[in-house]
């Protein structure tokens, strides 16, 4: 592929006969088939400059590399980190599924401040697009009977256990940010998610 055919990239030119550890003769950036920068010295600096150009010029990433560049820009370089795409933002909360029957036993709950006061209480994980990706039926003490939690995770408060359980089902945990209210949050939870799953 020639520079003129390159939509978005970094080029490296090496001297003929150069060893793998030798410095390149030139490193530069190509945007929409045009060499926009050269003599950058090394690839790491070129990546930083490329991200800076994309950010400053408000360019769109190539579709096939969108999430790779988004991680570099928003998580590693912390540029617009609060504007992660829908795929990377998750919210955890409770939802009532209306049920006024009498045959549900202790599964039927009453919560006074909900629009549907009687029903089944579900804990849900949804993306910022509003789609529910995972849910767990509240069952009292047996809510986590089949959850695969470590000893450290079992010691967490109930809200923190819920968040941990849901975060284990996120497809790209290191690229994700999870939002939840103070019922779910604790310092131990935040530390556990960051250390074990890489979630912010």
Q: Which two tokens stand for residue 180?
A: 């939840």
Q: Are 10 and 1 in contact (CB under 8 A)?
A: no
Average pLDDT across the chain, whole number: 78
Query: pLDDT confidence of 183, banded at 50, 70, 90?
Result: confident
151 pLDDT tier (thresholds 50, 70, 90): confident
Where are the chain's structural domains? 3-83, 86-197
Residue 80 has pLDDT above 70, yes or no: no
| Percentages (nearest 5) of helix, strand, coil residues in the chain | 35, 25, 40
Residues 6+ apart with CB under 8 A from 109: 96, 118, 119, 120, 121, 138
Angstrom distance (rounded) from CA 153 to CA 158: 10
- Residue 121 has a pLDDT of 85
The fraction of the chain above a pLDDT of 70, given in percent, is 84
């Amino acid at each position: 592929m020639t520079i003129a055919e390159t939509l978005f990239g970094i080029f490296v030119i090496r001297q003929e006969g150069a060893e793998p550890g030798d410095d390149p003769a030139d490193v530069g950036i190509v945007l929409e088939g045009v060499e926009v920068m050269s003599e950058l010295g090394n690839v790491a600096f070129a990546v930083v400059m490329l991200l800076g150009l994309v950010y400053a010029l408000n360019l769109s990433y190539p579709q096939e590399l969108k999430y790779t560049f988004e991680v570099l820009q928003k998580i590693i370089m912390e540029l617009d980190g609060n504007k992660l795409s829908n795929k990377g933002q998750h919210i955890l909360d409770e939802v009532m599924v209306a049920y006024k029957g009498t045959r549900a036993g202790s599964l039927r709950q009453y919560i006074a401040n909900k629009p549907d006061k009687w029903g089944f209480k579900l804990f849900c994980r949804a993306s910022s697009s509003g789609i529910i990706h995972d849910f767990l039926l509240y069952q009292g003490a047996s809510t986590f009977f089949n959850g695969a939690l470590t000893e450290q995770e079992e010691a967490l408060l109930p809200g923190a256990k819920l968040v941990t359980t849901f975060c284990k089902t996120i497809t790209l945990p290191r690229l994700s940010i999870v939002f939840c209210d103070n019922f779910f949050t604790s310092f131990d939870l935040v530390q556990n998610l960051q250390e074990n799953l890489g979630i912010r």
